[in-house]
Each structure stands twice: as C-alpha cells, then as structure tokens.
Structure 1
Amino acid sequence: MSARRTLARKAFSLAALVSLMVLGACSSGPARVKPAELPPPANKMSAQVIWSTQVGASASALAPFSFQGRLYLAGGAGTVAVVDAISGKDVWRLNLGTALATGPGSDGQVTAVVTQSHQLVAISDGREVWRAQLPSASYTAPLVAGRRVFVLTADRSVLAFDGQTGARLWTQSRPGEPLVLRQQGVLLAVGDTLVAGLSGRLVGLSPANGAPRWDVQVANSRGTNEVERLVDLVGPVSRVGNSVCARAYNSSVACVDADAGRVVWNKPAQGVVGVHGDAQLVLGAEADGRIVAWRRANGDKAWELDRLKYRELSAPLSLERLMVVGDDSGQVHLLSTTDGSELTRLPTDGSAVMAAPVLSGPALVVQTRNGGVFAWRPQP
C-alpha cells in the first residue's frame, strides 16, 4: 500500500487508560496498482485560474474552510491564514510556531485550530486570543458556532469552550472501540443540534450542555482483531436540510434524518474518505478509486465510474451538475453529476490533493500536500 494510505489514513490511536498512543500502520504490503493513463482532458468546460497562494506542506489533510466569501487555511508547520476568495489576498496571516493537527474552523470572528501537542488555539483578527489544553488528540477541525468552539477528540469526546475566554463549558464522553482513525471525523451543526460521529454512531447533542438528543447506529464493529473491528465515521458529510449522509470507514454510507434521529438508508461501501452531494445524489470515492453516486432519497445506486481507479481520490465536492475531486498526482477532475463523464481536468503543483475541494464565493479551491492553494472560476 502507498505511503499516503499507511501514514495519513491508516495510522490509528490506541486508548490505554487515560492516554492515547498513535500506532503507525506498517508500510509493507502489496505494491500499489498502477492506474491507467488518462486521456487528454475532455475540455467540455473551462475554468480560469484566478489566484494561488502557499501555506506550507502537511502530511495530513488540512482542509480549507469557506465562510462568507473568505477562505480559512492552515499549513502543517503552523501557518493559519484568511484570504479573500475573489482576489486571493491575505486578510490576515499568523504563524503559531507549532505543528498543526487540524484545519481551521471559524464563524468569521473566532478561528480555531488544534495543534499536534493537543492544544486548541483561538485566533481573532490575526491575533492569538487563547489556548486550551485538550485531554487527547484531535484530527477534526473545530466547529465554531454560537460564540462557542466545539472539538471532537480522538477518544470519542465532544468538548465545548467559550469562544471569547476559552473556558471549558462541558464535555460529553463515551467509551468506544479501542482504535480510531487519524483523520477527519464528523462534527457539524444541524439547526440547534450539534451532530457528532462517535465510533460507528451519529449522535445529536444539545450545544448548550452536551445532553444527548438522539443516537443512531451507522456501522457495527466486525472482524477478528482490533484493526479489523475498527469502526469510525469520516468527514466530510453531505448535509441537505435535515438529511445528513456520512461514510463509515471502509464499511458503509448512510443517510440520517437529523430531526427524527433515525437512519433513512444504509448501503455497503468500501471507502475511506467522506462524501458530498445535493438534494438528488450522494457522491463518494471508494478506496480503489471508483466513484459511486447514490440516490439521496433511498440509497439506490444511480451510477458508478471506474475510470479514476487507483488514483487515491480525495473526498468530492458537489456543485449542482458538477462534481469535483482531486487525486494523488495533484490533478483536479471536474465531472458531470449526471453520469460521471469528464468535463475538464485542472493541474496543480503535482502533489496530492488530500482534502475535499471547497467553493468560496466564485472560487473553486483545492489545497495540496505541498501547501499550494489554487483557485479557479469554473465557466460553462
């Protein structure tokens, strides 16, 4: 298996008493299957490069975050930056001087990241305003909402902090499987409910005090050893109204009604990155590079594409009739959501696109392993 799979996606954390020990999966194993050569781009649409910038390389998928026409960015060595989505110019940029474990979350006033030393750092207008020590590692970008900062940690705890002072407000913990993934989990707001992925469950919590509102099983532990029994939900998710669709690592994709707290459908799937979609389709890349489109209403398969197999695809972005996904060679594939056919293909700096692309204002944005951030304006 490739170094990216083994180090970035299949490193695990083992809970032992009150501490977490990170386990790196062995890099030995069968050689990676060489993908087929790609034909020349279809060029059925165009996309104009409007800007690019650099935030520093990272071995982890530090996803860009979009909010109100601005891009919130993080680099592995400690750079946090906010740039204007149209011009690409810095609104502010700060070097925290410590390696980062997550990308940023923000409400436009407070921006938060988590360091590799398990510190939650809050920034306002380019200045650090507080730090809080977390009880364990976190690999999921903080959620900043309602003047609070919410954090999902690797020991299956959800913590809430006061956005202005950093005071811890509450903690919701539950025992889970002994192994967790060292990659982005599930943490989002749906109306006035905080939704988190805890092991193989999707849980709705009160943001005021962490009290559970509903709890649904998305995937079950299975296998004969701890690695095979690993069960966890991976981000990003696809949310449309009260419908939240999420992937259980290498197990299934399911859609949940977040108002009623019930599973609408659950389908077997063998993927390791999150999903995205619209009101009609949920889109995901499987571990072997196949792209699958499920119908949001019932989970039936709408179409499947195998032309990008073995390219270690990122989680996708759905934009109405357009699907965007990056690969490990830095190519960004723009596909039709009707049938998966190629519309065009965009180059970056040649390093892997590890996190899902994002849309910020008119800009389609990706970030690469080497820290390059590229923005295009898609044109029909």
Structure 2
Amino acid sequence: MKMRVLAIALTVLSGCSSLSALNPFSSDDKPPKLQPITASATVRVLWQGSVGKAGLYVFTPAVVGSTVYAAAGNGSILRIDAGKVAWKINADQPLSGGVGADDNLVVVGTPKGEILAFAAADGALRWKAHATSAVLAPPALGDGLVVVRSADNRLTAYDAADGKRKWIYQRPMPALALRSTAGVLIDGPYVFAGFPGGKLVAVSTSNGAAVWEGTVAVPKGVTELDRIADITSLPVISNGTVCAVAFQGRVACFELGNGSQMWTRDVSSAVGLTINDRQLYVTDDKDTVHAFDLSSGSSLWKQSRLAKRRLSAPIARGDKVAVADAEGVVHFLSRADGAFSARLATDGSAVIAAPQALGANMVVQTRGGGVFAVEVE
C-alpha cells in the first residue's frame, strides 16, 4: 500500500486528542495559568534578536561556537555573533526547513524541495540542489556532506563543496505516517534518523547504506491511527549510546556501534528528548518531563505540573533542565529532583523547536520570530 502522510491538520486532530501534541497550530484552549514558584536560580536574557515569523513551519536555530543562525518562513536568514547581528539576508523565496550550519555553510530548505547553501562568513549563495519533496527539517552537516530529510522520509546526501548528490536512502514506510519536522544526526561515520513505524536507523555516510536498524516502538492497535508509532524528533547521543523516542511508543537506547538495545521505557513523545553523560530527559505527550538513568533506564523523577502547556523538548544545561511552552515561557527544573528552579518569559509566542545549547547557556526561537540567548546562574 502506498504510504500516506498524515498532515498535522486541525480537521484530523480535532477527533483524536492523543495526536494534538503534534499540532503546533492547536486550537486547544489557552494553556492553564501558571502557579507561582519560589525561584532558587537566577535566569536572564543575555541577548535577543528577531528573524521573522515561522508561519506554517518549525524553525530550529543552529549554533556554531558562539554564533547563532536562524531562519523564518518569509525567507529571512540571520547570523548573530555573541549577540550582534553579523549579517541578515533573504533567500527570495519561502523557507520551510532550517537551519543547518557549520564553520563554512548555512543550509536551509523550501516547501518545493529546494536546498539553499550560503557562505557562513557573509551569507553569499554557494549552491542550490533539489530534494525529492518539501524540506521540513534542519539539514545536518558533517563528514563533508549536507544530509537532508525530505517530507517523504527520504535521506539525501549532497557534497558540501558543490551540492552534487552523493546518495539517497529510502526504507519501506507504513501505510500511514505523521508529517515530521525531525531532522537527522551525523556522528562520525553514521547518519542517525528515526522513521515511521518506530525504527531508528544508522546509515553510512560514505554510501548511504543501512549499517543497523533498531526498534524503538512496535505499532499496536486495530486502526491505522492506532498503529502510528513514529519517531518525530531527533535522536540523541552520549558516550557511545544513541537514544530515540516514538509517538505512541517508547523511549529506547542502543549501543552506538552495533545497534544492540540497552533498555526501553514506555513513554510516548512527539517533541523529543535530551541526554548527558548520566541522564536522559524526555517531554511526554501529557507535558510531563521525565528523567531516566542513562545506563539502566530506571526512573529518577518526573515533573507533571506543566500539563497542557504544550512543552518543547527539554535541554540540560549545568544542573538544570529547561523546557519552553506555548506562551514562550522557559521553565527551569532541578536536575536532581525535577523541582522548579526558575522561570523566564520571552515574547509571548510559542516555542515549538527544541532549545539549543549555546556553550553553557541556551538559545530558543519563538514562533513569532524572537531569538533569545538565555543564561542560568
């Protein structure tokens, strides 16, 4: 049966509350009022910028050293160095996926499947290429490649120097799949990507062949909707371990080199997880933040007092774990026990993309186009 992509549309989600976590344009009631907390940490905005509204898409900022790149639906692309705008350009067409970057290139994608690569130094266009369908996720750069995941769940690798196509990876898909903005992760000789049906795949950067495939979740249920068990967020890696989480599925960790499964836990997440050398943190579909021991998968704590706030994926910085919500508020939890440590408001619009590490600090991009660097003291 030919795969059908389930668009994240209100007409679909209104009849299936379990899918509403996947909808960045949810028409649910306003998130519940936040209850006061006693702050035990000081947080502040180091700097802020504006790139433009996200529109219909999800834009994740890219961080290279102390430099932040951000993009917007109207084609704007921005480079910020230590809080100061180094350059701002317009791609002269709408954008739908971004940003991927390294020391040399800044790469974004369009709804028509075009890949645009610009010089990191000055924003000059370096090359263009075409994917097999719309690009909804940030491209990944590494090992001399730009690897793009398109909306049809194909991975395409391009030569970073000139944009020539090197290989395409495609695997069988289930009859129904969620529209995903999850990108791919390059680590050493592997490209890691999660797929519909709950599969995590390690692909060789040299030729695009699958090296190993791990099962994060197994589709269950009678109807096609019940059987959706898609990985809709980015895998994470630490100390030889790679982990992923599936919607209507589980969180699972594997040995990086051979794909041997280390442990699994029954947690459903549409937005994702983060990892450090000892713990794994995940935001589930009920907006509960969980902490697990990385080596064993044992539960350490969970924080459920942000229910219905439509949280982002978590990020761990120092002794804090942070998540952002549909009103642009960033919440800081203690890594030790999940207790609230601090809270910071941004511009009032939702933070959909996962916060990104900026040295010891973090950066978030809101749907309204705000880019905020945040410090925790």
TM-score by length of 2: 0.90
Q: 2:144 aligned with 1:147, yes or no?
A: yes
Q: 2:168 aligned with 1:171, yes or no?
A: yes
- Which residue does the alignment assign to 1:65? 62
Please give the residue correspondences for 1:267-306 in structure 2 after superposition, counting only pairs within 5 Å. Answer: 267-306=265-304
CA distance in 2 between partners of 1:75 and 1:310 (Å)? 26
Contact 2:195–2:232 at 8 Å: present in 1 too? no
- How far residue 25 of structure 1 moved from its aligned partner, in angstroms, is 4.5
- Which residue does the alignment assign to 1:52? 48
CA distance in 1 between partners of 2:48 and 2:246 (Å)? 33
Give the aligned residue type for 2:359: G
State the SS of the aligned residue for 2:45. Answer: strand
CA distance in 2 between partners of 1:261 and 1:72 (Å)? 33
Give the aligned residue type for 1:185: A
CA distance in 2 between partners of 1:215 and 1:75 (Å)? 34
Contact 1:155–1:176 at 8 Å: present in 2 too? no
CA distance in 1 between partners of 2:293 and 2:333 (Å)? 17
CA distance in 1 between partners of 2:310 and 2:153 (Å)? 27
Q: 1:227 to 1:360 in 2, by over 3 A?
A: same
- Which residue does the alignment assign to 2:9? 24
Structure 2: where are the runs of 5+ without partners?
Answer: 18-26
- Which residue does the alignment assign to 1:181? 178
Match of residue 97, structure 1, among 81, 92, 117: 92
- How far residue 245 of structure 1 moved from its aligned partner, in angstroms, is 1.3
CA distance in 2 between partners of 1:146 and 1:241 (Å)? 20
Please give the residue correspondences for 1:1-380 in structure 2 after superposition, counting only pairs within 5 Å. Answer: 15=3, 22=7, 24-26=9-11, 28-29=14-15, 32=28, 36-58=32-54, 59-84=56-81, 86=82, 88-124=83-119, 125-199=122-196, 200-379=198-377
Contact 1:81–1:94 at 8 Å: present in 2 too? yes
CA distance in 2 between partners of 1:23 and 1:337 (Å)? 33
Contact 1:238–1:282 at 8 Å: present in 2 too? no
Q: 1:230 to 1:127 in 2, by over 3 A?
A: same
Q: 1:213 to 1:297 in 2, by over 3 A?
A: same
State the SS of the aligned residue for 1:304. Answer: strand
Listed one character per residue, the Cα deviations across residues 122-168 of structure 1 (whole Å, up to 9, x for unaligned) are: 11130122211211223221111122111122323211111121111
- How far residue 21 of structure 1 moved from its aligned partner, in angstroms, is 8.3
CA distance in 1 between partners of 2:153 and 2:187 (Å)? 20
- How far residue 34 of structure 1 moved from its aligned partner, in angstroms, is 6.6
CA distance in 1 between partners of 2:31 and 2:47 (Å)? 30
- How far residue 195 of structure 1 moved from its aligned partner, in angstroms, is 1.4
Aligned length: 361
Contact 1:273–1:314 at 8 Å: present in 2 too? yes
Contact 1:236–1:315 at 8 Å: present in 2 too? no
TM-score by length of 1: 0.89
State the SS of the aligned residue for 1:256. Answer: strand
CA distance in 2 between partners of 1:60 and 1:251 (Å)? 25
- Please provide the CA RMSD for this pair: 2.0
- Which residue does the alignment assign to 2:20? none
State the SS of the aligned residue for 1:265. Answer: strand
CA distance in 2 between partners of 1:319 and 1:338 (Å)? 13
Listed one character per residue, the Cα deviations across residues 8-43 of structure 1 (whole Å, up to 9, x for unaligned) are: xxxxxx846xxx785734153478477553233422
- How far residue 101 of structure 1 moved from its aligned partner, in angstroms, is 1.6
Give the aligned residue type for 1:238: V
State the SS of the aligned residue for 2:233. Answer: strand
Contact 2:57–2:136 at 8 Å: present in 1 too? no
